Amino acid sequence: MIKTTKLGRRAILAGAAAGSALLAAPGIVRAQSPVIRVGMLLPRSGFFAQAGQSCHRGALAAPRVLSDLGYRVELVHIDTESNADIARTQAERAINDGVHCLVGSFDSGHTLAIAQVAEQRQVPLVINIAAAPPITEQGYKFLVRNFQTGPQLVTNGLRLIGETITATKIAPKTAVFLHANDTFGQAQRSAMDALFPRANLPFTLAESIAYDPRAQDLSVEVTRLRALRPDLVLVVTRASDAVKLVRDMVRQRFEPMGIVSPGSPGMYDEEFYQALGPLADFHISNLPWVNPRSAMTKALEAAFLAANPGTRFAADAFNAGFTFEAILIAADAFKRAGTTNGPQLMAAIKATDIAEHVMIGGPIKFDEKGQNPNIGSAAVQNRNRTPTVVLPADSSAAAPVLPMPGWQGRA
């Protein structure tokens, strides 16, 4: 049996007083819940709304798949409004209202705020997407992360860049690293500074340029790119600023060999395709991706299309896949633990060993820090406005194309 519940801020406020009263009366014995109530903390409005909605669509698809697998879950949908302070407050209120486990929250800053609440209240947090290394380096006992850290993303991303160069036989001499100046972008910059010198790539990194993702355009940054004339532009973006970047490149007629992300969202999102049309094609994102050969991926895609009519699974696969797996982890732990007691449920989550799942990689397991070390990566190139795996070769649907075609004639 699986239920899905929408819980807005007012509903959480209404339950806060009752939850506080129960917490203040430890002598009250609660009956064991027949289901695990999972609070889905996602930024469904505000600056990160596009990504939050994409994750939310994956959550909407989860009940059908989990029910078929015999799991008992009730989802409580909560909007963090793209604000870390609200994310923290909503996590607290959700726990007061009886949520047994938290899932979230896409943005690393929001996730760190939620992690503090989860630790204080001894309620498990299963991270669906958030890459900043400090999340699993601060000794938190009540969280696990089923997502790569920033250094893991960059390490795998740089390796795939080398494989792409080999496969396409291009000969880039220089690159520039362009990144957002938010928590995630700065973490990726630190990883790039540390890892690029050891990556043995056949080009130099001329410069790293930070930008404000909330800026109206990226014309200044693109002017700097034109002056440096790199063969490759390596980017850490979100969808909205990736759109600005390409538009300003087209306006200024700057055409590198390729635009490649060594591990970030943005260029595979539906927002990117809708805004740019043919100009969205041929950009490459190196990142974890769904395994198209997994039976569970096929089941999730079918459930996704039923729950979200008119929405393409391919464009949401990254966000939807990791969000589904976070819920799967919570449901599987509850089934094994037989209790929603926070410490006992957390112990079951840390003992997770799920061989059949959605994303590329080995079994879902967690190390002593709560990190899953078994997540793989793929090179995903936009082809006909669809994210398409081009490497590794044994799971690819097409061969990579570089240099990318010029802007003229595409639009």
Q: How do residues 83-103 score in pLDDT, each as one tens digit? A: 999 999 999 999 999 999 999
Q: What is the pLDDT of residue 27?
A: 33
Looking at per-residue pLDDT, the higher value among 43 and 392 belongs to 43
**Letter for the amino acid at 370?**
G
Judged against a pLDDT cut of 90, whether residue 58 lies above it is answered with yes
With H, G, I as helix, E, B as strand and everything else as coil, classify residue 349.
Answer: helix
Q: How sure is the predictor about 32, in pLDDT bands with cuts at 50, 70 and 90?
A: low
Mean pLDDT, rounded, for 202-230: 96
Looking at per-residue pLDDT, the higher value among 21 and 360 belongs to 360
With H, G, I as helix, E, B as strand and everything else as coil, classify residue 408.
Answer: coil
Q: What is the pLDDT of residue 411?
A: 59
For 268-309, the pLDDT digits (tens) are 989 999 999 999 999 999 999 998 889 999 999 999 999 999
Judged against a pLDDT cut of 50, whether residue 20 lies above it is answered with no
Judged against a pLDDT cut of 90, whether residue 395 lies above it is answered with no
- Tokens describing residue 108: 């690393």
Residue 377, preceding peptide bond in cis (omega within 30° of 0):
no
pTM, rounded to two decimals:
0.83
Judged against a pLDDT cut of 90, whether residue 344 lies above it is answered with yes
Percentage of the residues of the chain whose pLDDT score is greater than 90? 80
Task: Find out whether 330 and 126 touch, Cβ atoms under 8 Å.
Answer: yes
Task: Find out whether 241 and 217 touch, Cβ atoms under 8 Å.
Answer: no
Q: How sure is the predictor about 334, in pLDDT bands with cuts at 50, 70 and 90?
A: very high
The winner for highest mean pLDDT among 27-31, 167-171, 188-192 is 167-171
CATH 3.40.50.2300 residue spans of the chain: 2-147+292-350, 151-287+378-395
H runs (alpha helix) in 208-341: 219-228, 239-251, 270-276, 295-307, 313-337
- Tokens describing residue 174: 């220089």
Q: Kindly provide the b/e burial profile for residues 199-228, where b requires at least 16 CB atoms within 10 angstroms of the residue's own CB.
A: bebebebbeebebebeeeebeebbeebeee
H/E stretch holding 183: helix 183-195
- Tokens describing residue 258: 């390729």
SS (H, E, C) 48-76: CHHHHHHHHHHHHHHHHHHHHCCCCEEEE
- Tokens describing residue 346: 């957390």
Q: How sure is the predictor about 31, in pLDDT bands with cuts at 50, 70 and 90?
A: low
**Mean residue pLDDT across the chain:** 91
Tell me the CATH number of domain 151-287+378-395, given options 3.40.50.2300, 3.90.1150.10, 3.30.2010.10, 3.40.50.1980.
3.40.50.2300
Q: What is the pLDDT of residue 116?
A: 97
Q: How sure is the predictor about 22, in pLDDT bands with cuts at 50, 70 and 90?
A: very low
Q: How far is CA 51 from each of CA 57, 106, 278, 359, rounded to the nearest angstrom? A: 10, 8, 22, 18
DSSP state for residue 290 in the 8-state scheme: B
What residues have CB less than 8 Å from 249, skipping those under 6 apart?
222, 225, 255, 259, 407
Whole-angstrom distance, CA of residue 388 vs CA of residue 397: 6
Mean pLDDT, rounded, for 221-242: 95
Judged against a pLDDT cut of 70, whether residue 143 lies above it is answered with yes
Q: How sure is the predictor about 264, in pLDDT bands with cuts at 50, 70 and 90?
A: confident
Domain 2-147+292-350 coded CATH 3.30.70.141: no
Lowest mean per-residue pLDDT among 11-20, 35-44, 123-132: 11-20
Q: What is the pLDDT of residue 13?
A: 35
